[in-house]
Structure 1
Amino acid sequence: MTDTKAAQLLHLRGQSLAKGDPIAPPITLASMYHLPGTPGGVAAYGRSDQPTWEATEHLLSHLEDAPALLFPSGMAAISAALFATLKAGDRLLVPSDGYYNVRKLADQFLGPLGVKVVERPTTGFAEGGFEGFAVVFIETPSNPGLDLVDLAATCAAVRGAGGLTVVDNTTMTPLGQRPLDLGADMVVASDTKAPGGHSDNLTGHVATRDAALAERVRSWRTVAGGIPGPFEAWLLHRSLETLHLRFAAMCTSAETLAPRLAAHPAVQLARYPGLPGDPSHNLARAQMATNGFLIGLTLKDEASAERFIETCPFLRPATSFGGVHSSAERRARWGDAVAPGFVRLSIGTEPVEPLWDALKQALDGL
């Protein structure tokens, strides 16, 4: 995203204000609206119409350059995208090494409804082609392994085979990667991560430039009732206005820290797209505006990983990422197919040198 677009985002609401209006959007708490006569053309009911959502969706749409719909979590956004595009008899392709809840959703709910679910690893995602798939779900960089899929080539191949692509862009946000510009039909994301950024709010969104798909997702949200609360929408609106500052600081720090971490003797393997020797490096340079703020570290064993996280004063042990506080998690504890000593490290907004000192001291103690 250009600096101009970031500046525009801060003034989107201001361009339509009348004299005396609040610069910050108000939180509208309403389940019912004044609705005399025949409905139509005005807000009718809180499950379908919410001014605070709309203010936040305005910012998300600006970031995505596409209509965006807000949801109460990233998984709610993913569920809407999949249930709005799949039917019994369809085939769905998902990454076998991506966020595990996507596979659980597919296996436990879509499969029993008659959707055939196929899994492939991110590094071999295109092997076997895409013929016969109604929807191809892509996560790049993968979570937690940080492998990449060639978005332009994959989206073109899926479209050529008659399918739709849904891309999870949670790890990069629209500031770091733009799947819709690379041919994706739909983007989903957990705004709980960097867009929210303060570890206090669950939200997500779906964005698409296909009007029929957007209407289908909107209908799913209204009918199924997977709607965000107005306060959560307001919190995200507030956070989006500082996203460009926080995201830049996090990614810049990660660029500084990754080679230092990779060189530490306690680290057996470091994964970060910005490292010249990383398997994802060349593709990252082609399709990502930045290398992100996530770093994968493989330490000797489970005990070493846990000790590293526990003894570093500038790491919060938590199962999420993208906050202003640097955090870390041993992902094998959730069953991810990673080494027992693999740590997903999320770099926050701390000044980089004090953060490095704390990380190094914890590694030195292993």
Structure 2
Amino acid sequence: MSESQNARAASLSHLHSGNLSKGDPLSTPIVMSSVFHLPGDPAGARQYGRFDNPTWEAVEAAFAHLEDAEAIVFPSGMAAISSVLLALLSAGDRILLPSDGYYTPRVLLEKHLTRLGISYDTRPTASFAEGGFAGYRMVLIETPSNPGLDLCDIQLITKAAHASGAIVVADNTTMTPYGQRPLDLGVDLVLAADTKAPNGHSDVLFGHVAGRDATMIETIREWRKLAGVIPGPFEAWLVLRGLETLEVRFDRMCSSAESIATRLADHPAVRSVRYPGLKNDPSHALAKTQMLRFGSLVGLTLGSKEQAERFIDACPLIEATTSFGGVHTSAERRARWGDDVAEGFVRLSVGCEPTDALWQAIDAALKTA
């Protein structure tokens, strides 16, 4: 990490202590209240739980610290995405998004936002810049793409999209602020499902949006208040607790993923491997220029659907689940959701288990699959 990144990581868990008085709890309290004491003129005071909450503000301060930008939190990653779309797009606007990224935004647009007069197009991540961005009000990128792990050039796309008058939004769920910093590369807004690595313990849904344009951020914050797209205080506290260990967890996960991807690439049972950290990966050169780490996700393709399922089921250190970014290693065969990948493609999310023990379990499972 850079010196500034190290400084952010070091000071994150001390943000709260600067406001403490003698005898105050060191851990940020959970404020479980929907109403606040509000006699007389309500101006300048907390008014209602849909408007604000001290525990939200604590986790927003933590995300703002990590992103070096103002942050707004939401009850899920999709709540963050849908709020950005609904707050900033109007009837007649057109959005471009990846055809091979997380599929739910495409479903949201097709089933619901097209009814409001918002139209969309899709392009593959690897060729996202081809065709230009004229006519688009918003461009949504996801790099690395989920699940295929293709990359697109964030700076190149942002510069071209801005020249055409488009807002650029980056979904950084797979990378976190420790692995990639899209705002520093020019995008207008970054968003993420903090259900994944930021919380890290697979026990809460959460999301956030961050940006450095005050008007854009205030528009999204106002949308959250009026639409009621708010997180619960307890969920906010869980994510705040998770963020304090994100740097050390993400470091372990990325280091293990790089080691395991290298070994998978040489395994006779594996047909192909996608991981930006591999020198022969088609995205490796770009990854070195715009990513701080290569991530904790590995894509491996086995010979068949059945072989992929047997591998996942046979490994005692792999949880068969549809999410990623937890302390436990998990995997799933993504074609079952309709993603445009081979039937034997497995998205492997490397967790925090000791690397060699994890590899031994994966190797043994591959040999019996």
Asked if Structure 1 and Structure 2 have the same fold, meaning a TM-score greater than 0.5 normalized by the shorter chain, the answer is yes
Q: What's the secondary structure of 2:112's corresponding residue?
A: helix
User: Which residue is equivalent to 1:188?
Assistant: 191
Work out which of the residue numbers 202, 226, 237 in structure 1 matches 2:229: 226
- Residue 146 of structure 2 aligns with an amino acid whose one-letter code is N
- Counterpart CA distance in 1 for 2:288 and 2:363 is 28
Pairing 1:42–2:45 present: yes
Specify the alignment match of 1:177 in structure 2. Answer: 180
2-side partners of 1:91 and 1:323: how far apart?
35
| CA shift digits 1:27-68 (9 cap, x unpaired) | 101111111122211110000110000011110000000010
Partner deviation per Cα, 1:74-101 (whole Å, 9 max, x = no partner)? 0000011111110000010010110000
Match of 1:301 in 2: 304
The CA distance in 2 between the partners of 1:301 and 1:182, in whole Å, is 39
Q: In structure 2, how many angstroms separate the alpha carbons of the residues matched to 1:182 and 1:217?
A: 21
Specify the alignment match of 1:19 in structure 2.
22
Q: Give the 3-state SS of the residue equivalent to 1:136 in structure 2.
A: strand
Alignment of 1:263-274 (within 5 A): 263-274=266-277
Measured against aligned partners, the alpha-carbon deviations of 1:96-117 in whole angstroms (never above 9, x if no partner) come to 1100001011111111110111
Q: State the secondary structure of the residue aligned to 1:132.
A: coil
Letter in 1 for 2:164: A
**Tell me, what secondary structure is at the counterpart of 1:78?**
helix
Q: Equivalents in 2 of 1:250, 1:234: separation in Å? A: 23
Give the whole-Å Cα distance in 1 for the aligned partners of 2:129 and 2:258: 29
Partner residue of 2:161? 158
Give the match for residue 130 of structure 1: 133
* Deviating more after overlay: 311-320 vs 16-25: 16-25
2:360 alignment partner in structure 1: 357
Q: 1:340-351 to 2 correspondence within 5 Å? A: 340-351=343-354
What CA distance in whole angstroms lies between the structure 1 residues aligned with 2:24 and 2:112?
Answer: 46
Question: Structure 2: which amino acid aligns with 1:44?
Answer: Q
Q: Distance in 2 between matches of 1:187 and 1:4?
A: 21
Segments of 5+ residues of structure 2 without an aligned counterpart are: none
Structure 2 counterpart of 1:138, one-letter code: I
Residues 270-349 of structure 1: matches in 2 within 5 Å? 270-349=273-352
- For residues 155 and 106 of structure 1, the distance between their equivalents in structure 2, rounded to whole angstroms, comes to 22
Question: Aligned ranges for residues 105-116 of structure 1 at < 5 Å?
Answer: 105-116=108-119
Give the equivalent residue in structure 2 for 1:242. Answer: 245
The one-letter code of the counterpart of 1:48 is: F
Q: Aligned to 1:165, what secondary structure does the other structure show?
A: strand
TM-score of the two chains, using structure 1 as the length reference: 0.99
* Number of residue-to-residue matches in the alignment: 366
SS of the counterpart of 1:94? strand
- Decide which of 101, 114, 129 is 1:98's aligned counterpart: 101
TM-score, with normalisation over the residues of structure 2? 0.98
Task: Give the Cα–Cα distance (whole angstroms) in 1 for the partners of residues 166 and 131 of structure 2.
Answer: 15
Report the counterpart of residue 256 of structure 2 in structure 1.
253
Deviation at 1:168? 0.1
| Secondary structure at the counterpart of residue 84 of structure 1 | helix
Find the residue that maps to 2:105 and give its secondary structure. Answer: helix
What is the identity percentage for the equivalent residue pairs of Structure 1 and Structure 2? Answer: 60
1: CA distance, partners of 2:93 / 2:84:
14
Q: What is the alpha-carbon distance in structure 2 between the residues aligned to residue 157 and residue 177 of structure 1?
A: 20
Alignment root-mean-square deviation, CA: 0.7
Alpha-carbon distance between aligned partners in 2 of 1:108 and 1:184, rounded to the nearest angstrom: 27
Q: How much does 1:157 deviate?
A: 0.8
Query: Aligned partner of 2:250: which letter?
Result: F
Q: Secondary structure at the match of 1:138?
A: strand
Distance 2:64 2:263 in 1: 37
The residue identity in structure 2 corresponding to 1:82 is L
Q: CA deviation at 1:127?
A: 1.1
Task: Structure 1: state its 5+ residue gaps.
Answer: none
Q: Distance in 2 between matches of 1:292 and 1:131?
A: 32
